[in-house]
Amino acid sequence: MSDLMVKVSDAVRNLRYLLNRGYPRDSAVNFVANHYRLPLNQRHLLARCVFSRREVAKHRRKSVRASAVRGKHLGVDGYNVLITLESILTRKQVVRCDDGYVRYLRAIFGKYRVSPATPRALTELLRIIARAKPSYVELLFDKQVSRSGELAGMVRRRLEQTKLKGDALATGGVDLKLRSFDVAASSDRAIIGRAKAIWDIPAWFLKGRTAKIVDLTVL
């Protein structure tokens, strides 16, 4: 294990200790990241992937398998799921977090761009959804991200080709809208907290595949 990973492992354990004792999340993340002088990617890992035992239990209770999607209305957090699949396909680092959900570490912050990996990631995403057989699927893309309308249009055309009943929209308030669906697909902490049930599509996609993944569940 590299010196950096030893440092990250220690930081993860210390952050868990603070969160389990009720320390405010943002303050605890900043304190631990600054104490260990972590680079940006590892700071993102702490912020996105480390949780208290109570939150881990809550998130795991929301998690459902693909079989639970059959015949249901499925809402997909478009950028969240698509970027994670792109990261897996291009062998960028992803993390199996404390709560078991797979998350990416790339910093997008409203600057997502369609890449050569996007069509392949979309094909895989729609193939996975089609196999789950929801009665209806809606892929929601945050309209604040540039060119979201074009991406939603691309997805709509793909939906027509795959004969999936559904739609793709560029919209605001994605996290609020997703809680109205029978099942939501996302790894976003706020969405998991509000949704009725969560399907982790990237975790399902990873089964039987090799990937550049850090598994916090074994630390």
Q: Could you tell me the residue ranges of all domains in the chain?
A: 3-52, 63-93+106-214
Residue 2's pLDDT band (cuts 50, 70, 90): low
Using alpha carbons, list the distances in angstroms from residue 127 to 25, 28, 119, 122: 37, 40, 12, 8
| Pairing, β 63-64 against β 102-104 | unpaired
Q: Which of 102-106, 182-186, 205-209, 215-219 has the highest mean pLDDT?
A: 182-186
Check if the beta carbon of residue 114 is closer than 8 Å to that of residue 151: yes
Both tokens of 2, joined, read 């590299």
Share above pLDDT 70 across residues of the chain, in percent, rounded to a whole number: 96
Residue 204 clears pLDDT 70, i.e. is over it: yes
The mean pLDDT value for 51-73 works out to 97
Q: Looking at the predicted structure, is the pLDDT value of residue 75 above 80? A: yes
Structural contact between residues 70 and 132, judged by C-beta atoms closer than 8 angstroms: yes
Look at residue 110 in the predicted model and tell me its pLDDT. Answer: 65
At residue 109, the pLDDT reads: 57
* Secondary structure letter of residue 93 according to DSSP: -
**CATH label, 63-93+106-214, candidates 3.10.20.600, 3.20.190.10, 3.40.50.1010, 2.40.50.1070:** 3.40.50.1010
Distance of alpha carbon 75 from alpha carbon 135, whole angstroms: 11
Residue 3 reports pLDDT greater than 80: no
The reported pLDDT for the residue numbered 5 is 77
pLDDT digits (tens, 9 = 90+) for 92-131: 989 999 999 999 987 665 678 889 999 999 999 999 999 9
How do residues 10-41 score in pLDDT, each as one tens digit?
A: 999 999 999 999 999 999 999 999 999 999 98
Calculate what percentage of the chain has a pLDDT beyond 90.
Answer: 85
Q: Does pTM surpass 0.85?
A: yes
What are the residue ranges of helices labelled H in 21-52? Answer: 25-35, 40-49
